[in-house]
Amino acid sequence: MLLIFLRSLVFNVLFYAVFVILAILALPTLLMPLGALMTVARWWANATLFLMRVICNIKVEFRGVERIPKGPLVVVAKHQSFWETCALPPLFEHPIFILKRQLMYIPVFGQFLAKYGMISIDRTAGVKALLDMTRRARAAVRSGCQLVIFPEGTRRPPGAPPDYKTGFAQIYSACGVPCLPVALNSGLFWPRRTFMRYPGTLVVEFLDPLPPGLPKDEFIARIRDTIEEATTRIVEAGRREQEQLIGCAPSYVAAKG
């Protein structure tokens, strides 16, 4: 475990150093067309994947990329780690995330988020926030964007009981476009609330898209069942691999989340 600790320490130092450097380089993009900022975001994602592989022995496997539809889309993804917020965007033409409003107040970083067109919400505003979020999401999708939603609202550690909210179904209904479910096991390798990074194969699996227009209850059930079944499968495979690599019970890794 000492080696994993040291690798994690080196990774985090380099990860944030790269972030700061790219943020400085990206400052002129605030006055440029959006494509320039999206290019820097891709550099960040690629640099992160490189550091994960070389330093932490974390390989990343994207499955089912061919299932990603072209054009406007609602993406409903499992959320276990910060990792997916920086690694998923390059896989889409113009991804827009729904995120908490506090992130918009971070100096410089908040300006990048605003430039990108991210949709911020005030979680204390209740129904008003949901209506505003739905209106902005519909406008973004109709302009050709891919809207990325984390239906549980926050990061959940691997193995935690699912906690799907219902607001994402309203957005899906309002947007009238296909929905792409996404399963992953990132929480095993980049757990929340710790700087530790564990070796193994991080898997992101794009599942069969759902057509627009499904009834709300049917849509929620199909999304939940589809994502949870695939997530359970790839989390269990990841835990078995980690147990072989680091020689500890998989529950220890999950507990770190």
Inter-CA distances, 145 with 92, 117, 119, 161, 212, Å: 9, 10, 12, 31, 16
Q: Which residues contact 213 (CB under 8 A, 6 or more apart)?
A: 176
Does residue 249 surpass a pLDDT of 50?
no
Compute the distance between CA of residue 135 and CA of residue 140 in angstroms, rounded to an integer.
Answer: 9
Average pLDDT value for the chain: 91
* Overall pTM surpassing 0.75 (yes/no): yes
Residue 252 has pLDDT above 70, yes or no: no
- Answer whether residue 251 shows pLDDT above 60: no
* 73-92 confidence digits (pLDDT tens): 999 999 999 999 999 999 99
First-to-last C-alpha distance (Å) of the chain = 16
pLDDT in tens, 220-246: 999 999 999 999 999 999 999 998 888
- The per-residue pLDDT for range 124-143, each reduced to its tens digit, is 767 787 888 899 999 999 99
**How many whole angstroms separate alpha carbon 85 and alpha carbon 62?**
15
Element containing residue 200 per DSSP (H, E): strand 200-206
Local confidence band at 22 (pLDDT 50, 70, 90 cut-offs): very high
* Rg (the chain; Cα; Å): 18
- Say whether pLDDT at 250 is over 60: no
* 202 or 103, greater pLDDT: 202
Tokens of 100: 């908490």
